[in-house]
Structure 1
């Protein structure tokens, strides 16, 4: 028993924790930063001021995770982010294809607590910063409301992933808040004063059908006059959750210090909307619906942006400018919202896409004046316009992984973040990131430590793609369709396909390419064809003498002609994809982006895949087989399709697909990395949306690894993850590895993006 009658003032206990890296903020950015750093051996403290992890992706807010894939509504093919954020999304897809936000919470918590190098502090708010000198943080103070415990968190390095930049603000890091003018950086899309300077917060609700009539009595604070919301006619009984992302407010206020005021206004709106749906009489189908959940905290979009040694801006995104210190990429549209949010008569968003993904430089990921402070998430060094793209969660998490790996190198060299800028250290950072699955467009990431670089690689077979057989029902050309095919330098192969016409017609076809290297906007016509078709079956040929100067994807394009149908194939092959000139209003895709001259954006057509189970490849036959699925692809440093599939793909007829990796002399192996195809084109939205499968159809499920004496080193059954890291109990000495894989299905041949081998961890 404890008893005290003293009237002396008391204080809460103070716990001092020393680590290599202290991360503030347990949203997706903080989570991915912590896991990345911990797996590389850093002792990490992760302080999160909420009781769950995930931030805007958690069950407290329930926003789906998106990044460069943009709901498959742009021209960024195979653009889902890699590394830990990919691992989390793939895990969520496997465990939670229904999109239950509670399961997403569980997955994030499980990932973090499974790392012994992470000390997780939930319900713990950082409230003060103590500095060693003017530009160096010594430790941060935090408080846990649940245990009434104060903390001093000491480290040589800190990362602010808090969204509002609490550590950056308290430490005196330079920051901006609000929009820059057009003149400051020459950004033509900079918003006018009427449009506003800040994006607001959103708060969502969920409904469910009880099967019996349910009445709703609104609270006194609910919005009575729904017509104050100019878009009120858009509300319906079927949409809920983050499909109502445009329930937004607060852009005219201080989006940090006025958050509680903003929340109350959003509650007023949400309960007013539900009252309208339940009691207006306009939605009789809502009689049995009940309000299942309303968010308790708003999802924030924008507040402070901190200044690094480089400020990413509109031109970097639109022109896809290159940076020698690129460590990540983005690809969401430049997506700005009116500051009046739901009360604005302007559209809820103003999205403009670029023709491909863009590099994010390392110089934007640390504070320019607080020397040991990394930035992660939405607070990195960007202009307001560029923030419109870089702010989304998957991009923010991807950036955070780069900050984490930089912290690892800072410990290795006992240096500060900016000290990694010299070329030699930057190359080491880029290659370290590639080693954990982080794709960096345009970077040279061949890893000299990877023993596979020294090996001879032989495969039991290599797919020579001669034909995508006609084996499922035809599809009418109600939309223009293109089959993306990877071609090597030289002449484009002759292509044959069947068209079935209801009447005599002229079918228009083209072979297109992309004007920007490693991008997928088919804006360059290489050849045009006018193909007369007769009623019934027509065998058609596309032949051109055009040559391409480098390996790339070309688009065999067949234009809309509703009276004609074309053959399709059941085969789904790594790096082979069909796309359609269609619309996706969710991301402002209406088939073509027609940008006014004065906003500095490109105009172009959208050619996007269809979600499975749709989206089959066209049935085509090639004059010469496509010979792009070679075994040597497994060591080119790129573990996703870019200008080529970048994968070894076995032949369909190969009963036991095998890779044999041989060295001239024995090697000591401790770690083996394998990368499989989890379909980087699938956005894997984390909540609300359901998905047709929980394992991607291209992914190798079963494999085994043997040494030169045919000893089994490792076997996996039921794999679904992109990257498999095998750490052997004891290092082995061998001059050969044999990797035997199984085809995922009769329609998808086995594919491996990369194999890496290392002597040490």
Structure 2
């Protein structure tokens, strides 16, 4: 028994922690930042004011994490984010392909707790900042009401990943809230504040469950009444049906005309009124008899936030950077979600719940957006980075934010090892250190061909057991009717091959084939028609020989387009090949894709068509043959540091009949080797939403699952089975001296040609 005598007052138990890097905020940005720094050897304290990690992606909010893939509804091919967030997404699909939000919590927790260099503080709220001088944070103070403990946490570098910018705010860094006028940055989409307000609002989601027997529901007194009149979207089938749940209700939004920090509690109560009122309408209006056995399984306990503070950085990203895909010498991350602004009245507004305008491809984000000029040891990450209100409409989404989290975690490690301040890495002679470190760890920086430092594979002679020369995508017996156009994306460098294929016609009709490409070789928006062929078809099957007689001066992807004709069907191929995909000019209203983007005049956005892939298992190629064969899969691609298809396949792919593909790296002289990294193809063209939306495959078919690594004497160094990850980092217990490394792969089962995207040896 413990008896405490009466006291005048008491204080919480105080625990003092010392770290190299202190990360405030445990959303996906903070998680990726903490893991990145920890893996670079820094002692990290991660402070999270909630009982779980993930922020808006956690089981407390249950919003699916997305980024450049945009539900596969835009033209950003092979754009899923790389690095640590890719590792998390791939792991979640492997363990949790059904999209259970509770299991996603577990995936995140497992990733963080595995890192021995991270001290995780859950349920801990940062409320005080101490500074050693005007430009340097020395420590932060945070409190955990669950264990009655106050933490004093000192550090050398700090990162604000809180979403609301709590750390930066308390430390005195300059910031902005609200929408800029058009004159500030010359942004033509700068919103009309009468319609859009100053800020994006919050949302609360809900889940329903069918329990198989009647369920009564009595609404609480605070529930919104007369929702049918007050919420126009309940009459719009594009937004509402009784069977949808979770993220489908993102439009239950409120707070765009309020202060999204100070008024958060008021916004939350209003959204609870809305949710319980909408459920009352579903259950008790008499209009939805199918809801008789449905129960309300879960309602968010606090809202998911979209926008609040945005900190002033060394560079402010604007609409023009996004739409024009501006290039930056210090690019370290990228985005690809649409510029996505919402009406200020949110759920109570008529019309569309959002206005999304896409660029023709992904855009760069410069390092300068993550660095504040006001403090010498603070990074900012997530939706608080330096951007305009308009650009924030795209940079705010979680996977884009998570990329930035890894950026600043890796940057902190460089700064501490070199004695730099964050601002010092802006130097043109230093930014390459960060870019190289990011690429080495599986990140993709569009438009920046980064040489990964100290990679012995670059100086090796590479030999392989075989190389795929793709002359045929064999038909699998399925057909696609041309109710809308379809195109086969193929890598080309020079003359376009002659294409042969069979098509079926219901009646005598005409097939139009177009050869298209993108006006920017790095994009996948087919906005340039390079050649057109027309074929008169007879009823039933027809053989088509398409010779476009066209050459491209530089490498790129070309689109073999078969244009709409409902009387024609084309054969499909189930053969999956790294770097190839078919795309469709069809509608995906979830991301404002109606086949073609037609913006109003004067908002600074381009008009173009959307050609998008389908999800597994519908994701197939068009059955066709090529003469000459596609020769884009040779071993020299392993010297490329774009570890994904980009302009070309960038992959070594073995011949289809090579059951045991092998690659050998041989040097003139013996090398001491400690680390080997392999970069695999987990199909970055497939979106991997974290919750609610399930996925077909637990393991991506084009990813090698088993391989053996040996040295020149035949000694086995590694035998990996059951791989499903993009990046395999293999650290030898003791360095090995050898003049060659052999990697033998076991080909995955099925009609698949997997690719190896790169190898790092040091």
* Equivalent position of 2:270 in the other structure: 265
State the alpha-carbon separation in 2 of the partners of residues 210 and 754 from structure 1: 50
Check conservation: 1:236, 1:283, Cα contact below 8 A. no
Q: What pairs with 1:569-718 in structure 2 (closer than 5 Å)?
A: 569-718=573-722
Q: 2:538 aligns with which of 531, 534, 538?
A: 534
Do the aligned residues in 1 keep the contact of 2:681 with 2:754 (CA within 8 Å)? Answer: no
Structure 2: how far apart are the matches of 1:750 and 1:209?
41
The CA distance in 2 between the partners of 1:567 and 1:265, in whole Å, is 53
In the alignment, which residue of structure 2 is the partner of 1:434?
A: 439
Instruction: Tell me what 2:16 maps to.
Output: 16
In structure 2, which of residues 389, 406, 411 is the aligned counterpart of residue 384 of structure 1? 389
* 1:25-424 correspondence runs (5 A): 25-195=25-195, 196-226=197-227, 227-234=229-236, 235-424=240-429
Please report how far the alpha carbon of residue 611 of structure 1 lies from its aligned counterpart in structure 2 after TM superposition: 1.0
- CA distance in 1 between counterparts of 2:193 and 2:99 reads 38
| Per-residue deviation, 1:546 | 2.0
Q: Which of 508, 513, 519 is residue 517 of structure 2 equivalent to?
A: 513
Q: Does 1:734 align with 2:738?
A: yes
Supply the distance in 1 between the matched residues of 2:151 and 2:723 (Cα, whole angstroms). 41
Distance 1:413 1:360 in 2: 24
User: Structure 1 CA distance, aligned partners of 2:615 and 2:5?
Assistant: 68
- SS class of match (1:231): helix
- Which whole-Å deviations, capped at 9, do the CAs of 1:516-571 have from their partners, x for residues lacking one? 12110000011011111111221112212322111110000000111111111120
Match of 2:523, SS state, is: coil
Cα distance in structure 2, aligned partners of 1:492 and 1:91: 38
Q: Is the 8 A contact 2:533 2:548 kept in 1?
A: no
How far did residue 492 of structure 1 move? 1.3
State the shift of 1:506 in Å: 1.0
**TM superposition shift of 1:67:** 0.2
User: Is contact 2:532-2:548 (8 Å) kept?
Assistant: no
SS in structure 1 of the partner of residue 232 of structure 2: coil
C-alpha separation in 2, matches of 1:691 and 1:737: 36
Distance 1:616 1:47 in 2: 44
Are the counterparts in 1 of residues 680 and 758 from structure 2 also a CA contact under 8 Å? yes
Q: 1:652–1:746: 8 Å Cα contact kept in structure 2?
A: no
Measure how far apart 1:151 and its partner are. Answer: 1.0
Residues 236 and 277, structure 1, Cα contact 8 Å, conserved in 2 = no
Tell me what 2:568 maps to: 564
Separation of aligned partners in 1, 2:676 and 2:32: 22
User: Structure 2 length normalisation: TM-score?
Assistant: 0.99
The alignment covers a number of residue pairs equal to 757
1:750 counterpart residue number: 754
Q: SS where residue 189 of structure 1 aligns?
A: coil
Say whether the 8 Å CA contact 2:129–2:140 is kept in structure 1.
yes
The offset of 1:132, in angstroms, is: 1.2
Report what 1:553 is aligned to: 557
Q: TM-score, normalised by structure 1?
A: 0.99
1:86-129 alpha-carbon deviations (Å, 9 max, x no partner): 00000100000110000000010010010000000000000011
4+ runs deviating over 3 angstroms: none
Contact 1:657–1:750 under 8 Å retained in 2:
no
1:371 Cα offset (Å): 1.8
Q: Counterparts of 2:18 and 2:84 in 1: how far apart (Å)?
A: 25
SS in 2 for 1:194: helix
Distance 1:665 1:549 in 2: 39
Match of 2:449 among 444, 461, 466: 444
How far does the alpha carbon of each residue in 1:593-651 deviate from its partner, in whole angstroms, 9 at most, with x for none? Answer: 01122000010000000111113111111110111101111121110001011000000
Q: How far 1:259 moved relative to its partner?
A: 0.6
Counterpart CA distance in 2 for 1:291 and 1:224 is 18
Once the two structures are overlaid, the 10-residue window that deviates more, 634-643 or 541-550, is 541-550
Structure 1 window deviating more from structure 2 (540-549 vs 523-532): it is 540-549
Q: Does structure 1 retain, via aligned residues, the 8 Å contact 2:444–2:642?
A: yes
Secondary structure of 1:153 counterpart: strand
The Cα of 1:418 is off from its aligned counterpart by 0.4
Aligned-partner SS, 2:383: helix
Distance 2:307 2:574 in 1: 44
Q: CA deviation at 1:4?
A: 2.2
1:136 positional shift: 1.4
Q: Are the aligned partners of 1:142 and 1:150 in contact in 2 as well (CA < 8 Å)?
A: yes
Distance of 2:754 and 2:222 partners within structure 1: 59
TM-superposed deviation, 1:473: 2.0
Unaligned runs of 5+ in 2: none
Give the Cα–Cα distance (whole angstroms) in 1 for the partners of residues 186 and 43 of structure 2. 43
Matched position secondary structure for 1:219: coil
Task: Report how far residue 6 of structure 1 moved.
Answer: 3.0
Quote the Cα distance in structure 1 between the aligned partners of 2:126 and 2:443.
Answer: 30
The secondary structure found in structure 1 opposite 2:193 is: coil
CA apart distance, 1:655 = 2.1
Instruction: Give the deviation of 1:12 after TM superposition.
Output: 1.1
Aligned equivalents of 2:628, 2:373: Cα separation in 1: 55
Q: Structure 1: any 5+ residue segments left out of the alignment?
A: none
Shift of 1:746: 3.2
Report if the CA contact (8 A) 1:741-1:750 is conserved. no
What's the Cα RMSD here? 0.9
| Cα contact 1:635–1:756 (8 A) shared by 2 | no
Q: Residue 472 of structure 1 contacts residue 570 of structure 1 at CA under 8 Å; is this kept in 2?
A: no
